[in-house]
Amino acid sequence: MIPDVGYLAMVTALVGAVYATIASLYGFFKREERWVNSARHATMTLAPLLGLSSLTLIYALVVGDFQLKYVATTSSRDMPLFLKVTALWGGQSGSLLFWSFLMASFTFIVMLRRWDEDRELLPHVIFVTAGTLVFFVGLTTFVANPFEKLSFIPPDGQGLNPLLRHPGMVAHPPTLYLGYVGFVIPYAFAMAALVTRRTDPHWIRVTRRWTLAAWLFLSLGLLLGGRWAYDVLGWGGYWAWDPVENAAFMPWLTGTAFLHSVMIQEKRGMLKVWNMVLIILTYGLVIFGTFITRSGVISSVHSFAQSAVGPLFFSFIAVTAVASVATLLRRLDDLKSENRLDALLSREAAFLLNNMLFITLTFSVFIGTISPMVSELVTGEKITVGPPWFDRVTAPQFALLLALMGIAPLTAWRKTAAQRLGRSLWWPFLIAVVVVIGLFLRGVHSWGALLGFLLVTFVGVTTLWEYVRGVIARRRARGEPWLVAFWRLAGRNRRRYGGYIVHLGVVCMALGIIGTEFFQQDTEGTLRPGEALEIGGFRTVYRTLRTYPGPGDLIVTEATVEIYQGDQLLKTVHPKREFYQNTQQTMTIPALRSTMAEDVYVLLTGWEGGGATATFRVYINPLVNWLWLGGLIFVVGTLVAGWPDFEAERRMVMPRLTIAPQQV
């Protein structure tokens, strides 16, 4: 009975989305305000309806209603409660329903805003958001129905895929989905601005926080996904250029380019066409990323099995792309730049080069990702483009981006004097050279690593100097203490200094990537109790092995390993193998000894004779924890950049309050 309520709510949401799409279009063409209002109200019902549908599916997962095919394939009686809840996004149809609910929730919040100044944009925003929901809710209703029933009731379910039974899966998919659906909002406003010819920066200002929120969630999703891979997949790394990783990374790249590029339009009235192209591309890549994950056309540990949703996704991507480009081409005359690029040495030029690099990176990742699909269509054989190809192609582009992060803040709008820029650059560069010479003398001879450390140091110094220079200026002007000056400096220009915090986060992440890419070590060996593997100045000693039953159908085999440096015992760790009897799947769970200098990453890969011998693989991952630290700094910087400036908003309101009485 309860699942029927969920299905009915989902179908009602589909009807509401179709109605909102048609009514908004009709209201626009007939200039009937009441139809637009009706479409708005219909759009606001979608989040409660899809929320109800999602809650009923969660209820079925928790109580074990195995007559539902989705519940039978993703849940089981012995799963803990948090895994039963997260099973909502552990399978194809449930994740599509969850995606739709999040999209409807974002749309609901947008509909709540005051539309007095943007009334003409409203029908088009409704049309795009509700139209997107028509597609996704239609998929869950007709093609991937999570409420589909079996002809019999099995005694138990298969349970969630072991790869997804990790605390990281509680947060990773939702944050990724929030990033995906969040970018639909600025895209909807961009299309509305094109149709209504309101091509000034107003739509950018209205959606700025939406864009930052979407970008933040997508960044978090990528970061949490990397941590999940590091903790669960047991291969010693966090990023494998997997197709689904790439599918989430590409809209992040174009979204980052968009965030930088819109500043030029706001400041100088330039790159209007380019910004439209970027947000259209980002929206298309969001749908493409969902398509890659849900269609199964490309093999991935993340993707679901092949299904009928693939052709429908492809058709939707094609239709929206054609419609978006056609709308853009019709409005090219309204998107003429108000100014031109005055000089190559300027902040505008630096941002433009930044954008070009982000787009070439996106194109490189896209080519590598779709190559297996294209080769299979053309030759009948599916090729695999592995990490070495991606590393060779993208590494130079990332290096240029990193260098540009250090140079761009030192440039001025319109034109920068070459001598002034040179004076600003020479001493950070000198510090970076000194650091590299010191590293070379200490035995670091990889030219790639030395170049990486040079860039990291250079960008770190120039970014920190921007803070120091601003604080010194405030102290001289106002006599404020150091911490007060720093706090008020960031508070006065949160967008700028929040962006610098993000840059510092990127510097830390780059440090972690350099360490693991150039200095990772690994070894493997079969040991008897008391024997050891030696690697990178560490010694891992095998002690014991035991097998015991875990919760439900789980059988755990766990080793005890001691990690020494010289004669000093650093930590006792317990790498293990988990075997799920119902699905006959095995998980290799690493054990870690972590510091900011390195991780000692130990895997149990096999054993014989009940533990008489055991085989281990050990990785040394230098500096890897700087990656996770950088991710946290990255998040803080984004929050600072997007945090509302209530004082500034109050100052904008106060003149109205003082002028009005005088006018009366």
Nearest partner of 429 among 399, 446, 406, judged by Cα: 406
Q: Which residues sit opposite 538 in a β-bridge?
A: 535
Could you say which DSSP state residue 549 is in?
A: E
Number of neighbouring beta carbons within 10 Å of residue 308: 11
| Least confidently predicted of 143-147, 170-174, 544-548 | 170-174
Q: Identify the pLDDT of residue 302.
A: 47
Number of neighbouring beta carbons within 10 Å of residue 331: 18
What does the pLDDT look like over 191-215, one tens digit per residue? 999 999 988 888 999 999 999 999 9
- Separation of alpha carbons 178 and 514, rounded Å: 30
Nearest partner of 520 among 235, 231, 245, 226, judged by Cα: 235
- Separation of alpha carbons 578 and 586, rounded Å: 6
- Separation of alpha carbons 510 and 305, rounded Å: 34
Q: Identify the pLDDT of residue 659.
A: 38
Q: Identify the pLDDT of residue 268.
A: 82
609-632: average pLDDT = 95
Q: Which residues sit opposite 569 in a β-bridge?
A: 564
460-469: average pLDDT = 88
| Least confidently predicted of 152-161, 486-495, 544-553, 629-638 | 486-495
Nearest partner of 459 among 499, 404, 412, judged by Cα: 404
605-621: average pLDDT = 94
Most confident range, picked from 91-95, 249-253, 442-446 = 249-253
CA dihedral 504, 506, 508, 510 (to 10 degrees): -140
Beta-carbon contacts of 601 under 8 Å, excluding residues fewer than 6 positions away, are: 236, 590, 591, 592, 618, 619, 620, 621
- Separation of alpha carbons 156 and 345, rounded Å: 67
3-state DSSP call for residue 661?
helix
Q: Could you tell me the residue ranges of all domains in the chain?
A: 1-160, 399-519+633-657, 521-625
107-133: average pLDDT = 93
CA dihedral 434, 439, 445, 449 (to 10 degrees): -80
- Separation of alpha carbons 442 and 386, rounded Å: 33
5 vs 79, higher pLDDT: 5
Number of neighbouring beta carbons within 10 Å of residue 2: 13
Number of neighbouring beta carbons within 10 Å of residue 552: 15
Q: Identify the pLDDT of residue 379.
A: 79
- The answer to whether residue 653 scores a pLDDT higher than 50 is no
Question: Sorting pLDDT into bands at 50, 70 and 90, what band is 502?
Answer: very high
Kind plus residue range of the DSSP H or E element containing 311: helix 309-330
The answer to whether the CB of 274 falls within 8 A of the CB of 262 is: no
3-state DSSP call for residue 10?
helix
What mean pLDDT value characterizes the chain? 88
Cα angle for residues 145, 148, 151 (degrees, 5° grid) = 160
Number of neighbouring beta carbons within 10 Å of residue 142: 12
3-state DSSP call for residue 147?
coil
- The answer to whether residue 634 scores a pLDDT higher than 80 is yes
For 173-241, list the strands marked E by DSSP: none
Q: What percent of the chain clears pLDDT 90, i.e. is strictly above it?
A: 60
What is the Cα Rg of the chain in Å? 27
Nearest partner of 362 among 273, 281, 272, 297, judged by Cα: 281
Residue 559 backbone phi and psi in degrees, to 5: -105, 155
- Separation of alpha carbons 314 and 316, rounded Å: 5
The answer to whether the CB of 186 falls within 8 A of the CB of 221 is: no
- The answer to whether residue 110 scores a pLDDT higher than 90 is yes
The answer to whether the CB of 146 falls within 8 A of the CB of 140 is: yes
Q: Residue for token digits 């929320």?
A: 51
15-37: average pLDDT = 94
| Residue-wise DSSP of 388-423 | HHHHHHHHHHHHHHHHHHHHGGG--SS---HHHHHH
- Separation of alpha carbons 618 and 621, rounded Å: 10
Terminal-residue alpha carbon distance, the chain: 63
Could you say which DSSP state residue 230 is in?
A: I
The answer to whether the CB of 526 falls within 8 A of the CB of 533 is: no
473-496: average pLDDT = 80
- The answer to whether residue 508 scores a pLDDT higher than 90 is yes
490-517: average pLDDT = 90
Q: Residue for token digits 């070439």?
A: 360
- The answer to whether residue 647 scores a pLDDT higher than 60 is no
The reported pTM is 0.90
Q: Which residues sit opposite 423 in a β-bridge?
A: none
63: left (phi over 0), alpha (psi -120 to 50) or beta: alpha
- The answer to whether residue 489 scores a pLDDT higher than 90 is no
Q: Identify the pLDDT of residue 472.
A: 87
Beta-carbon contacts of 465 under 8 Å, excluding residues fewer than 6 positions away, are: 428
Q: Which residues sit opposite 621 in a β-bridge?
A: 599
Q: Identify the pLDDT of residue 491.
A: 75
Q: Identify the pLDDT of residue 295.
A: 59
The answer to whether the CB of 527 falls within 8 A of the CB of 614 is: yes
Strands of 521-527's sheet in order across: 521-527, 613-622, 598-608, 591-594
| Least confidently predicted of 269-273, 352-356, 611-615, 644-648 | 644-648
Distances from the Cα of 170 to the Cα of 53, 104, 164, 173, angstroms? 19, 21, 9, 7
- Separation of alpha carbons 423 and 432, rounded Å: 15
What does the pLDDT look like over 47-106, one tens digit per residue? 999 999 999 999 999 999 999 999 999 988 888 888 899 899 988 899 999 999 999 999
| Residue-wise DSSP of 75-106 | --TTS-HHHHHHGGGSSHHHHHHHHHHHHHHH
- The answer to whether residue 583 scores a pLDDT higher than 80 is no
What does the pLDDT look like over 268-314, one tens digit per residue? 888 899 999 999 999 999 999 888 876 555 655 444 444 567 788 88
Nearest partner of 430 among 454, 466, 465, judged by Cα: 454
